[in-house]
Amino acid sequence: MLDDLKLIHERDADDALGVAEHQCEYLQYQFDFEFKPSGEIRNIVLGGMGGSALYAVFFNSWPGFPVPFEISRNYSVPHYVNQHTLFIASSYSGNTEETLSALAEAEQRKAQIVVLAAGGKLAERAEQAGYPLIRVPGGIQPRMSSFYCLAGLIQLFEPLGLVPEGSLQELRAAGEWLGGQVKAWIPTVPTANNAAKQLAQELMGKSVVVYSGPKLAPAANKWKICMNENAKNVAWWNQLPEFNHNEFVGWDSHPLDKPYAVVDLRSKLEHPRIQKRFELSARLLSGKRPAPEVVEAQGDTILQQLLWTAVMGDFTSLYLAILNGLNPTPVELVERLKKELDS
């Protein structure tokens, strides 16, 4: 089925697979904005939901910050937000009600504010208040805009000394490298040679459970979201070593025939004890859960591995949508919820 290009085109009517293929180009995008701090930045808070916060998780693995950083997925902001906080209001649509609410509270607390959006009320608010606006190109789903957003925030952070010098150059170089890697997953590559198609077939008809170590946790989170929104598939994720302290035991009992598929995202750059935990967990749970599908991250750096693993998950989830007989792009249930919240 996944080698039938006509069928793929019919089901992927909005060309989500084409978007996935060209994501690497988003890392080269040059934004036009200016931000001058009004005082010392002692912490960073990003307010966003769903795909509009998805990319921010990457900063926990790469490149890291010299000040505390928190992602706030809420109507409010953390209690410590003040004039020394760099608050980033992030909403791809610009109309996310939680983010607009959090922005209002950040304003009350005198935070230093930057807005990231493709348009909507948030962009209007930035223009009215004179906030720096990182305007992301529109026309795609928020979950597929992560690489635009990564590029935009690195362009914000590097001049402020909040990420290591050369981070933007490293990001763009990794994007060029990734452009060659994704060619292995595009629709014209037959299933026999296409790891993303093969994995999608293994996941079909099952709830998907994704595990990783701390370094690849942002990619595991992206896999979960894309399984939900692209494939319309129930999925969740967790990371080791936390997994071994609770969820690990949950696999030990009933039901014996578990309707799940397990995916392990592994990296040779993880702590050696994390790697050993993956091996021991697989052995101790043998026969108690489905044998994990192991995805070994490719790349020489954690950034390359994060990007590679994230996009491999995009393609896998899109092919799973095709197998599920669905158009991967629309999220009609989310749109219905928003309308009913406004009624």
Single out the catalytic residue among 36, 79, 245, 254: 245
Predicted local distance difference test score (pLDDT) of residue 258: 73
Mean per-residue pLDDT for 60-85?
Answer: 96
What are residue 114's DSSP bridge partners?
Answer: 88
Q: Answer yes or no: 21 catalytic.
A: no
pLDDT in tens, 92-103: 999 999 999 999
Question: What is the number of alpha carbons within 13 Å of residue 326 lying toward its C-beta?
Answer: 19
Q: Within 10 Å of residue 12's Cβ, how many Cβ atoms?
A: 23
Which amino acid would we find at residue 5? L
Rounded distance between C-alpha atoms, residue 237 and residue 222, angstroms:
9
Single out the catalytic residue among 21, 158, 229, 270: 229
pLDDT in tens, 223-278: 999 999 999 999 999 999 999 999 999 998 866 677 899 999 999 999 999 999 99
DSSP 190-245: -GGG-HHHHHHHHHTTSEEEEEE-STTHHHHHHHHHHHHHTS---EEEEETTGGGG
Mean per-residue pLDDT for 3-8?
Answer: 95
Single out the catalytic residue among 121, 206, 271, 338: 338
pLDDT, greater one: 259 or 313: 313
Q: Answer yes or no: 36 catalytic.
A: no
Please report which confidence band the pLDDT of residue 58 belongs to, taking 50, 70 and 90 as the band edges.
very high
Structure tokens at 229: 């929104």
pLDDT in tens, 71-82: 999 999 999 999
pLDDT in tens, 290-311: 999 999 999 999 999 999 999 9
Q: Answer yes or no: 245 catalytic.
A: yes
pLDDT of 331 strictly over 70? yes
Predicted local distance difference test score (pLDDT) of residue 159: 97
Which amino acid would we find at residue 135? R
> Taking the model in full, what pTM does it have?
0.95
List domains and CATH numbers for the chain.
5-9+185-323 (3.40.50.10490), 22-176 (3.40.50.10490)
Rounded distance between C-alpha atoms, residue 229 and residue 321, angstroms:
9
